């Protein structure tokens, strides 16, 4: 694909996105002012809160994005695990231990990278605009590098399955920085700017799309599954051409219509209420100001000097007249306005799931009760979180895992995995919380079955080994604290041998005791025969 074809494709995607830009700009003005430069030119450091009189939407959006961060990618707690889709590999102890060690190594790499900073920006954009984008790249120092891109830079396209597989990015950088990165590969126009005006900004484009020339038998980066092309849209020139083994972008959508590419957000749902509450707050502030500092009624014929409204100010009027200065009663009803505002605030909180996120917790609650409350919270948000798992977390983990695997940063796989295709499945906290229902069902069943086992052989239906493995797997118990099948078998053999030895000793003891009791009887019998 040449630069002209790329430019034509970009122009079509830009046309498709135009209807969204004004919507995003309006939302950003009220909800995310620091990102309120979608289709407006903003200077660095300028004030961007001129439309905001009420901060309910700002706080609710921040609460939702922070809650998503805490529930899905919390740095303080394990937030993902991996397992094999192949059941045979999942049953192999050595393979499972290797995968768990890989998970630990990935946690270390993610903590060393800028993941936590960038993922919060991703959640913020997602809650605000309904669509967000983050690029995952290799880094020589920290292994992984993440970068959340402003929605104004991103233009996307879906494949036939509704999955985003094409991203065009339009971005600005100084001519000096462009020369440092691309060198003489830049167009003649940009090279001249870099020489004469190095700190002037220029516009470049980056396209990542399925590679039409993919060849798995070639090692060149231009033969990888996804093509990566930097090009100059204005000069119609390709700057660099390379590729990726996996799609490097994650582009989650909050909610999406089947006929649309970009997602819709809670901020879009609450936009009407957000605009109304800001207008109402502005009106209420003006009414309160008039009540505190009311306009004055002044006779038009008796006052020559200016009216002094400061504390201690003296105003003279004619004696014997009623030509006095009086406040103008405007009839403002501030409590009614405040009540209406509170209704709008509640509607905004509902749109951002504030009530679900702030489920009350009693200080007297046990750790189990707190865990159950958190699990209930995640189940309530499951319809939304399910899409995030599919469009963000799953590809993010797969991309990070494959980068580290190719760089040789993961532990050496066991012999049973060498030469085999490894299919990894991401297990999210949401999925785990949903699976805890299995554990509750098992425990409830045991409560019912155990009394019956005293009368009926019902325990024969339960495989205790599989039961324990399933419970520990669902609860995410580390493999390193569990014994392997071989160790368990050895322990059971020792226990069986010890039990057999004890049985022999008991039998010998019983025989000796029986012999001791029989000896006097034999002596009596013998003496009777002799007599």
Q: State the average pLDDT over residues 430-448.
A: 75
Q: Can you tell me the distance from the alpha carbon of 15 to that of 370, in angstroms, rounded to the nearest whole number?
A: 49
Encoded tokens for 248: 């490097």
Check whether 523 has a pLDDT greater than 80. Answer: no
Check whether 302 has a pLDDT greater than 70. Answer: no
Instruction: Tally the residues of the chain.
Output: 531
For 128-148, write each residue's pLDDT tens digit.
999 999 999 998 888 899 999
Average pLDDT, the chain: 84
Check whether 32 has a pLDDT greater than 60. Answer: yes
378 neighbors 385 (Cβ within 8 angstroms): yes
Q: Is 519 exposed, middle or buried (0-12, 13-18, 19+ CB in 10 A)?
A: exposed
Phi, psi torsion values for 209, nearest 5 degrees:
-150, 160
**Of 40, 236, 256, 262, which Cα lies nearest the Cα of 167?**
262
Task: Give the H/E segment covering residue 443.
Answer: helix 429-453
**Strand-pair partners of 154:** 169
Encoded tokens for 384: 């939304």
Encoded tokens for 24: 């995003």
Question: 285-318: b or e for each residue (b if 16 or more CB lie within 10 Å)?
Answer: eebeebeeeeeeeeeeeeeeeeeeeeeeeeeeee
The sign one gets for the Cα dihedral 502, 503, 505, 509 is positive
CA-based Rg of the chain, rounded to a whole angstrom?
36
Distances (CA, A) of 441 to 92, 435, 471, 499: 26, 10, 11, 34
Domain ranges of the chain: 3-39+113-267
For 330-372, write each residue's pLDDT tens digit.
766 677 777 888 889 999 999 998 887 876 556 677 766 766 7
Encoded tokens for 146: 């993440």
Task: Give the H/E segment covering residue 365.
Answer: none
117 neighbors 132 (Cβ within 8 angstroms): no
Angle, CA 234 vertex, CA 231 and CA 236 arms, to 5°: 55
Q: Can you tell me the distance from the alpha carbon of 388 to that of 253, in angstroms, rounded to the nearest whole number?
A: 7
Q: Can you tell me the distance from the alpha carbon of 183 to that of 268, in angstroms, rounded to the nearest whole number?
A: 43
For 1-18, write each residue's pLDDT tens digit.
688 899 999 999 999 999
pTM of the model: 0.80
Spatial neighbors of 301 by CB under 8 A, at least 6 apart, are 323
What is the DSSP-derived secondary structure letter of residue 132? -
């Amino acid at each position: 694909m040449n630069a002209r074809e790329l430019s034509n494709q970009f122009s079509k995607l830009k046309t498709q996105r135009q209807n969204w830009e004004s919507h995003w700009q309006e939302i950003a003005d009220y909800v995310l002012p620091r990102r309120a430069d979608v289709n407006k030119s903003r200077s660095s450091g300028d004030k961007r809160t001129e439309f905001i009189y009420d901060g309910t939407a700002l706080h609710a959006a921040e609460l939702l994005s922070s809650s998503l961060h805490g529930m899905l990618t919390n740095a303080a707690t394990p937030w993902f695990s991996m397992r094999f889709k192949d059941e045979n590999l999942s049953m192999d102890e050595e393979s499972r231990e290797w995968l768990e060690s890989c998970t630990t190594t990935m946690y270390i790499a993610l903590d060393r990278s800028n993941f936590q900073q960038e993922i919060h920006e991703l959640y913020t954009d997602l809650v605000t605009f309904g669509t967000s984008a983050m690029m995952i790249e290799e880094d020589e120092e920290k292994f992984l590098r993440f970068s959340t891109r402003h929605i104004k830079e991103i233009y996307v396209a879906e494949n036939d399955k509704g999955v985003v597989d094409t991203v065009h990015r339009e971005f600005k950088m100084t001519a000096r920085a462009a020369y440092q990165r691309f060198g003489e590969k830049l167009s003649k126009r940009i090279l001249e700017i870099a020489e004469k005006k190095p700190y002037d900004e220029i516009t470049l484009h980056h396209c990542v799309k399925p590679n039409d020339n993919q060849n798995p038998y070639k090692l060149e980066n231009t033969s990888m599954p996804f093509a990566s092309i930097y090009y100059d849209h204005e000069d119609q020139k390709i700057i660099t051409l390379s590729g990726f083994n996996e799609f490097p972008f994650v582009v989650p959508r909050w909610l999406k219509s089947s006929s649309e590419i970009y997602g819709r957000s809670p901020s879009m749902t609450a936009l009407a209420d957000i605009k109304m509450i800001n207008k109402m707050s502005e009106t209420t502030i003006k009414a309160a100001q008039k009540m505190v500092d009311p306009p004055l009624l002044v006779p038009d014929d008796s006052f020559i000097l200016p009216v002094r409204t400061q504390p201690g100010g003296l105003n003279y009027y004619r004696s014997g007249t009623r030509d006095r200065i009086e406040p103008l009663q405007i009839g403002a009803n501030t409590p009614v306005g405040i009540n209406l505002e509170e209704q709008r605030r509640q509607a905004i909180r509902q749109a951002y799931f504030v009530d679900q996120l702030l489920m009350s917790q009693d200080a007297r609650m046990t750790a189990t009760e707190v865990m159950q409350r958190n699990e209930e919270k995640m189940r309530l948000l499951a319809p939304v979180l399910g899409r995030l798992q599919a469009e963000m977390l799953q590809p993010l983990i797969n991309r990070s895992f494959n980068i580290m695997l190719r760089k040789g940063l993961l532990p050496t796989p066991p012999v049973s995995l060498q030469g085999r295709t490894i299919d990894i499945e991401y297990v999210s906290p949401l999925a785990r919380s949903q699976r805890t229902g299995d554990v509750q069902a098992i425990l409830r069943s045991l409560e019912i079955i155990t009394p019956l086992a005293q009368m009926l052989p019902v325990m024969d239906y339960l495989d205790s080994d599989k039961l324990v493995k399933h419970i520990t797997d669902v609860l995410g118990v580390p493999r390193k604290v569990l014994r392997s099948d071989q160790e368990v078998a050895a322990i059971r053999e020792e226990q069986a041998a010890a039990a057999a030895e004890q049985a022999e000793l008991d039998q010998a003891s019983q025989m000796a005791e029986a012999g001791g009791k029989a000896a006097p009887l034999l002596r009596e019998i013998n003496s009777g025969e002799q007599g």
